[in-house]
Every structure is written in C-alpha cells, then in structure tokens.
Amino acid sequence: MTSPAPTTSPRRWRTALVALVTVGLASAGAAVGLQRADAATTPTTATTAGAAAACGAGTFQSQVTVSGTTWTARNAAGSSVYSGGDFRAAVQAGIGSLTPGRTSIQRVVVRGNGTMAAGSRISLAGYTSLSVCGTIHVTGGGSGDYAPVYARGVSNIEVPYLNVTGAPVYGIFLRNVSNVHLGQIDMRLSAGLGVRIDNRGDTSQWTRNVRIDNVYVQGASSHAVETYGVDGITIGSVTARNVGESGLLLNQTINATVGTVDAENAGSGTGYAAFRMANRNGRIGSAYPGNIKVGTVRARGGGRGVFCVSESGGATIDRVDIANTGNNSILVENCYNVTVAAVSGTVSGGGEIRIAARAEFAPSSGIRFQNLTVSNTNIRWSPCTGGNNTISNVTRTNSSLTWC
C-alpha cells in the first residue's frame, strides 16, 4: 500500500548542513584537544584504526568514561553529573548536562564499551553531537521505536562515530528530524534494523537535510538502512552483509544522492533488494523529475539486485554490478523515469531483468536499460503495458530478450 504524500509542498533539497560550532571547555581540569577531528573520514567502517584514533578528538562539552564497572559522566566544568553502573544512564546524563536552550552544537564523547537493553534508548536533544569511542552492545528483546541512538522532533544532531553489536530493535532511529549528520557507523548485529530515518510521527512535515557518510551493517534481520518521508539526503556508502531484507531502502524520499550500495546476501529468499525504492519514492508533487541519483549498486546473492516499485521513479543509477541474485537481478514495477546503468553495468546469472506491472498502478514508463553486459540471465518486459521504455547498448551472452 502506498502512503499519501505529505500535505506540504516539497522543497528543493538544501545541500548545506548547519555548521557545527564547538564551545571550549571551561575547566582546566577537563581534557581539551587542540582541534576538532570528528569530520567525515574515508574508511567504510568505524572500526578502522584511523577512525578509532579520530573518535573523541577535539573539544567537547561532556565526557563519559568507565573505570571497572563504574561509569562517570562529567559536564563542561569537569564536575560529575553521574556515577554508577548504568551505561545508558551515564550517557543520557552527559547529554543532559549540555547548555539548555543552546543554538550551536555541543559534543558528548563516550570512551569505552557499554551494554544497554534492547527496550531502552539514548535520546538526543537538539544541537547535540554524540561520538561513541567504543562499542554499544544491546541485550535482551524489545519492540517499538527503541534504539541505542534515538531522536524525535529535534534538529541539528550528529553521530560522528558509533559501533553497535547485539540485537537492537533499531541501531539508530530518527523521526521528524532535520539537519542530521551520521558519520562512521558500524553495526554487527544478530537481529533488528540498522538505521531508520523517517517522518512518520507527523507526515505533514518532511524529515530534511540528512547526511550519512559510511554505514556498515552485518547480520540485521531487517534492512541495513531505511528512509521514509525524507527530503534531502546524501549518503556516501551503505555496505550490507547478510541482512534479512534490503541493503538500502528509500521510501517516499526525494532529492537523494547516494554514492555506493554494496550488498552481499541482502534479503535472501525474499523480494527485497540490495537497493530498493518504494512508496512513491522520487515523486515530487505528481511528477518524477530526476532527483534520485545513485553512483553504484553492487549485489552478490541475496534477493534482488535493484527493485523499483509502487509508483517510484525519478532515478538514475550510474553503475550496476549484480551477480547470482536469488530473485530478479533488476525489477522495475510501476515506476517512471528510471535509468539503470547510465554509465555502465554488468549482470551475471541470477533472476531475470524485468519490467513488470501491478494492475492497481499506472504501468511503467520512461524506463531505460542501457550500457549493460548481461550473461546467463534474461531480459523481459511483461506484461506489455506502459510505453517509452527503451533498451540500448546491451551485450547479451546466453541471454534472451523479450521486449514489447
């Protein structure tokens, strides 16, 4: 089922994020670095040595540390605002110690590995940056919108570094937020969904202005990264390994730029895909202008490679590298103005490349498959509905073509 479009008129994507302004520590007894180092880094995961060294550098306004089993949170003056055995409570106290009513971002740095329950949250206030220089391990079970990192109805938030293990409901859950930066995010899970960013608390308002540098998710039972109701998102890379559903799923998201989706065994045995667009993704008003840009989709095994469905479109994928998917290598179903392999692509084995249709939506139009090398799988447009769908510069080996 599609969800109704937000009632406000979508605005064009604003590329500039609100600048981060750090405030020096007041106490000589608090640790102060010479310069800020929580900018985006190139490693795919936050567990690289470079990312680990950079995490927590620079100035900060609260620090949370552990000694033995005791967690201590200190404020900007170096005074203790929490001491005890509860990791989650310590981090929340650190966030709570920041300046009330602030209009520039203040930083909380967590040093050490902590454990928290799946049915609990660390909630970010507006104008807050949280760097976790260690690993959060999530235990037990839960349901609902619980996550180690949670924010709702706030703006100007950052998570430059985060490592999560265990079985969270969500690794990160952000709802009706704006001006967001997620940096180096690494999740090695046994269940749950990696990163969810949406506007489902108030669908009349878009979640806006989101930047994600690099996310690595392994072992999630659902998606690695999912959005719903977002206007303006830039993603560097999503790397998904052995996740239960999609690597990257964009729902009703507009003005998106994605560098790379790299998925192995994403959605095995399902109709999900390494990269999936659904629920009027890319639709602005009643049209599908080009506003979804993806650099590369790489898929190995799993469910589908690329899947566009339920009145989505306005998308260009420059490069695809898809092999041995269990379901369709590429499936476009009731989508509009979509180009696959604008630059180049290879598809080897796996399920067929197909334009399909459901009766409840208008058939696909303006679909372009081009610059592809296809081997050991077929290309099919069926049923023969819709129009202005083209295929060009495609080299086939052991591959049949059925085109309307």
Domain that holds residue 215: 105-402
- Decide if 7 is inside a domain: no
The mean pLDDT of 363-371, rounded to a whole number, is: 98
Confidence label for 41 from pLDDT (cuts 50, 70 and 90): very low
Please determine, for residue 9, whether its predicted confidence score (pLDDT) is greater than 60.
no
Q: For residue 4, what pLDDT is reported?
A: 38
Interval 343-362: pLDDT, tens:
999 999 999 999 999 999 99
Confidence label for 204 from pLDDT (cuts 50, 70 and 90): very high
273: β partners: 304
Residue 151 to residue 46: CA distance in whole angstroms: 21
Burial class (CB in 10 A: 0-12, 13-18, 19+), 52: middle
- Decide if 36 is inside a domain: no
- Decide if 69 is inside a domain: no
Q: Considering its fold, how many domains does the chain have in total?
A: 1
255: β partners: none
136: β partners: 114, 164
Q: For residue 350, what pLDDT is reported?
A: 96
Confidence label for 48 from pLDDT (cuts 50, 70 and 90): low
- Decide if 123 is inside a domain: yes
CB 73 within 8 A of CB 93: yes
- Decide if 188 is inside a domain: yes
Average pLDDT in the chain: 90
Interval 309-336: pLDDT, tens:
999 999 999 999 999 999 999 999 999 9
Residue 289 to residue 286: CA distance in whole angstroms: 10
- Which residue did the predictor score with more confidence, 97 or 37? 97
- Decide if 352 is inside a domain: yes
**Taking the model in full, what pTM does it have?**
0.88
Q: For residue 100, what pLDDT is reported?
A: 97
- Decide if 44 is inside a domain: no
Catalogue the E-assigned strands of 253-364: 254-264, 273-278, 292-300, 304-323, 328-348, 351-356
- Decide if 91 is inside a domain: no
